[in-house]
A and B are shown apart, each in its own frame.
Chain A
Amino acid sequence: MRNRSVTYTSSRTAKAAFQALADPTRRAVLDLLRRGSQPAGQIAEAFPVSRPAISKHLRLLRRAHLVREHREGRNRIYDLNPEPLRAVDSWIEQYRTFWMSSLSNLKTFVEAEHARETQTSRKPK
């Protein structure tokens, strides 16, 4: 499969990633793989679902490019491909920076206004 050409349409690729992430078991598999690569058998043991069900989940994750598979002898080893996850994570990261700058602006604006307002109302001694 090394030389296959990637001919996905843009929206199909992105949709595959989101659909892959929509399932809680698949998200848990990704969390497991964050700690390091794992053979398929060990991944299956970590979940109370059947081996075929895990295989199906891994296939979906592979197609969405969220995990990569390679063989070591008879074992299929899976590891995480972090790039697509960074794209989805960054929704909340966007909002983290949004609030950081908004609250900093809020501070600057309110303090300036308040200083102006209290100065105007202060009676001269």
Chain B
Amino acid sequence: MATATVTPNQDAVIAEVFIAAPPERVFETITDPTQLSKWWGEPSLYRITERSSDVRPGGKWFSAGVGADGTKFSVEGEYLEVDPPRRLVHTWTSSYMPPIKTIVYWDLQPQPVHNLHPSGPRKAGTGTLVKLRHAGFASLPQAAAEHGDGWKRVMGWLTAFLENGETVDMRK
């Protein structure tokens, strides 16, 4: 299945997956609003209620959803590079984080596929190695310090964590 790691400088997530379908098919799935909600995020944790994409450089994309706890959120951005079927680059800004623009880079590399199922019908064709890089997280602590008042939910969550740490400390 997919792999995902964080770079040592804590600035980016690098993720990769091989898909037994051609790059054109994958590119369609990562840009078409109706198909996006079929795979994006974790359906058990939240539900996407709205999604729009204007797939061209400078075009905007928008997504809104509801968490399992009823909290509304949105994520949006702008397409920076649209080069079907090989490359897609767009910004990413979410309502639940400081207002920094992180950037998502999609690289779709064609890979030959031979005989996926040894005992089944022979399949030959082109698959896709999907390489994703989501970068720009290193500036988060600084942005958080500057926008400390905006997002109570985040602060509440972080505080609970900090307060747990203090409790452990006081017990020593």
Give chain A nearest CB distance to B135 CB in angstroms. 10
B3's nearest neighbour on chain A, judged by CB, is: A100
| Interface-lining segment among B21-29, B49-57, B60-68, B80-88 | B21-29
Give chain B nearest CB distance to A7 CB in angstroms. 11
Asked if residues B13 and A96 are in contact (CB atoms below 8 Å), the reply is yes
Contacts of B35 in A (CB 8 A): 109
How many residues belonging to A are interface residues under a CB distance threshold of 8 Å?
43
Main secondary structure of the interface of A (DSSP, over half): helix
* Residue A110 is within 8 A (CB to CB) of chain B in the complex: yes
Contacts of B156 in A (CB 8 A): 10
B156's nearest neighbour on chain A, judged by CB, is: A10
Contacts of A88 in B (CB 8 A): 140-141, 144, 158
* Residue A72 is within 8 A (CB to CB) of chain B in the complex: no
Contact A103-B15, Cβ < 8 Å, known A10-B156, A87-B158: yes
* Residue A45 is within 8 A (CB to CB) of chain B in the complex: no
Give chain B nearest CB distance to A101 CB in angstroms. 5
Asked if residues B19 and A111 are in contact (CB atoms below 8 Å), the reply is yes
Give chain A nearest CB distance to B115 CB in angstroms. 15
B2 contact from A87, A104, A109, A113, Cβ within 8 A: A104
How many residues belonging to B are interface residues under a CB distance threshold of 8 Å?
54
Contact A100-B2, Cβ < 8 Å, known A106-B130, A110-B19: yes
CA–CA, A17 and B38, complex, Å? 38
Contacts of B159 in A (CB 8 A): 10-11, 13-14
B13 contact from A13, A15, A99, A107, Cβ within 8 A: A99
Asked if residues B10 and A96 are in contact (CB atoms below 8 Å), the reply is no
Q: Which of A11-39 contact B (CB under 8 A)?
A: 11, 13-15, 17-19, 21-22, 27
* Residue B5 is within 8 A (CB to CB) of chain A in the complex: yes
A86's nearest neighbour on chain B, judged by CB, is: B161
Asked if residues A84 and B15 are in contact (CB atoms below 8 Å), the reply is no
Contact A84-B165, Cβ < 8 Å, known A97-B4, A111-B20: yes
CA–CA, A98 and B104, complex, Å? 13
Name 16 extra pairs, CB < 8 A, besides A10-B159, A93-B6, A104-B2: A22-B146, A65-B162, A83-B162, A83-B165, A87-B158, A91-B137, A95-B137, A99-B15, A100-B2, A103-B15, A106-B29, A107-B17, A109-B39, A110-B26, A110-B29, A111-B19
